[in-house]
Amino acid sequence: MGRGFRDRDYLQTQDGLFFTVIGNLHPQERVLAYLKYLPHPRGRWGRPGKRYRRSMRYYCASNVMKAVEFLSRRYPEYVFHSEPFNFMLSAVPVEKITRHYQPEERLRQLHVAAGLDELERKAVELASILSEQSGVPFERLGVTGSVLVDLHSVKFSDIDLVVYGRNQSRRVKEALLSFYEGTGIGVERLRGRRLSRWCREQSTVHPFSMKEAKALYQARKWNKGVFKDTIFSVHPTKVEEEVSGQYGDELYKPCGIVEAKARVVDSEDSYFLPATYLVDNVRPQRISRLGSVERVVSFEGLYADVAENGEEIAVRGKLEDVLDASGRLKYRRILVGSPEAHGTDYVKAAVSKP
């Protein structure tokens, strides 16, 4: 029996569209995913005789919602109203899927294939190094992004790897941090113009200054670097046994945009999307009451694994009552990455202050 749809899988549809899967929980007969590539005669990505363009230049919640608006005009069958989240989302109907791309399967194929191009060889080599140095089995790694769907360019595409599982993600993180100390194997942090470009991109789509972005990268963004002159990223993803519940088990009732400070008490699930921080000592900054907020949750990849246990964070996001299926209040959370915030929400730890 095959596995389910996981975060960072890709889907190809009958309309020739490529979607990136979001998370591991999905509604019946649909898969939550955002539009990534669509056919375009002058697109930079592609295969012989078929070119594609990206649906968004930078990935962030506000740009995902713009892609949802595009789909609602051109391909409305890929948009639906999510009752649990209480807003419109892009989700691929299962009957529209022509191919389900799985990162671990693609990496396995590349590992044994002949005639790889330079980018494919580097992806396999980097995955092999991470596996050897971290002790994570090679089959718990995968390759996503343009290499997964064979739309990449050796001239400008990055390497996007996936690591499956909480413990495996922690071990890969430790290996990368040791590499950054200098091992001579070609794995380095972003520096110079590449770091400046990354900081500029973050400050363009998030409420961060260039200085804040640089401080955050240098202190916490372990999963993005350079391997033999090619930028790479590593994306932790949960496997099925690490995911509890089903889509629709919880309902989210919006209670307005809030700002608060809080202390992180458990960051174990902050590696993944959605990144989840259990918090206490939550203090409102601009309103008199927040209620009992227990979690800060982010769908923005920038805010994954940016705060550790015991650290103070500043948060702006959508306050939500989290209800069970019967409508009973379970807890409150602050969501970062909602349509209502229009890109003004954030999670900032001490490392990201100017």
CATH number, domain with residue 171: 3.30.460
Mean pLDDT lowest among 99-108, 269-278, 284-293, 309-318? 284-293
Q: The CATH number of the domain where 278 resides is what?
A: 2.40.50.140
**pLDDT value at position 354?**
38
Comparing CA positions, the residue from 155, 331, 341 lying closest to residue 257 is 341
Question: Which among 175, 166, 189, 182 has a CA at the least distance from the CA of 131?
Answer: 175
Residue 190 has pLDDT above 60, yes or no: yes
Residue with tokens 């190094």: 129
Residue 93 lies in a domain: yes
Query: What tens digit of pLDDT does each residue of 128-162 get?
Result: 999 999 999 999 999 999 999 999 999 999 999 99
- Give the residue from 53, 80, 101 where a domain finishes: 101
Contacts of 187 (CB under 8 A, 6+ apart): 126, 129, 176, 179, 180, 225, 226, 227
> What domain range is 19 assigned to?
10-101
Same domain as 111, residue 97: no
Q: How far apart are CA 249 and CA 266, in angstroms?
A: 22
216 and 234 assigned to the same domain: yes
**Residue 5 forms part of a structural domain:** no
pLDDT tens, residue by residue, 192-242 = 999 999 999 999 999 999 999 999 999 999 999 999 999 999 999 999 999
Q: Which residues contact 76 (CB under 8 A, 6 or more apart)?
A: none
Would residue 78 count as lying in a domain?
Answer: yes
Whether 181 and 201 map to the same domain: the answer is yes
Residues 96 and 110 in one domain: no
In whole angstroms, what is the distance from residue 269 CA to residue 255 CA? Answer: 24
Name the domain boundary from 47, 71, 101: 101
Looking at the domain assignment, is residue 4 inside a domain?
Answer: no
Q: 288 vs 332, which has greater pLDDT?
A: 332
What's the pLDDT at 59?
A: 81
Q: Tell me, yes or no, whether 130 and 198 share the same domain.
A: yes
Residue 353 — very low, low, confident or very high, per pLDDT cuts 50/70/90?
Answer: very low
Residue 288 has pLDDT above 80, yes or no: no
- What is the average pLDDT across 164-177? 97
Predicted pLDDT of residue 311? 97
My answer on whether 35 and 154 are in the same domain is no
Place of tokens 């932790």: 236
Confidence of residue 351 (pLDDT cuts 50, 70, 90): low
Q: Is residue 3 part of a domain?
A: no
Domain boundary pick from 210, 240, 270: 240
User: 97 and 183 in one domain?
Assistant: no
Residues 273 and 211 in one domain: no
Q: Is the pLDDT of residue 189 over 70?
A: yes
Q: Which residues lie across from 250 on neighbouring strands?
A: 324
Q: Is the dihedral of CA 43, 202, 199, 303 positive or negative?
A: negative
Across all residues in the chain, what is the average pLDDT? 94
Instruction: Please name the residue that has the structure tokens 């890929």.
Output: 78
Tell me, yes or no, whether 96 and 29 share the same domain. Answer: yes
Asked if 126 and 235 sit in the same domain, the reply is yes
295 and 229 both lie in a single domain: no
**What is the DSSP pairing of strand 329-336 with strand 293-298?**
parallel
Q: How many domains does the chain have?
A: 3
Q: What is the pLDDT, as a whole number, of residue 320? A: 96
- Does the pLDDT at position 183 exceed 80? no
Mean pLDDT calculated for residue range 306-331 = 96
* % of the chain at pLDDT higher than 90: 88
Residue 264 has pLDDT above 90, yes or no: yes
Residue 302 and residue 291 in contact, taking contact as beta carbons nearer than 8 Å: no
Angstrom distance (rounded) from CA 263 to CA 179: 30
Identify whether 1 is part of a domain. Answer: no
pLDDT tens figures, 72-125: 999 999 999 999 998 899 999 999 999 999 999 999 999 999 999 999 999 999
For the whole prediction, is pTM greater than 0.85? Answer: yes
Model confidence over 1-32: pLDDT tens digits?
578 999 999 999 999 999 999 999 999 999 99
List C-alpha distances in Å: 170 to 112, 156, 236, 247.
Answer: 27, 29, 9, 26
Shared domain for 39 and 147, answered yes or no, is no
Residue 338 lies in a domain: yes
For residues 2 and 228, give the distance between their C-alpha atoms in angstroms, rounded to a whole number.
Answer: 35
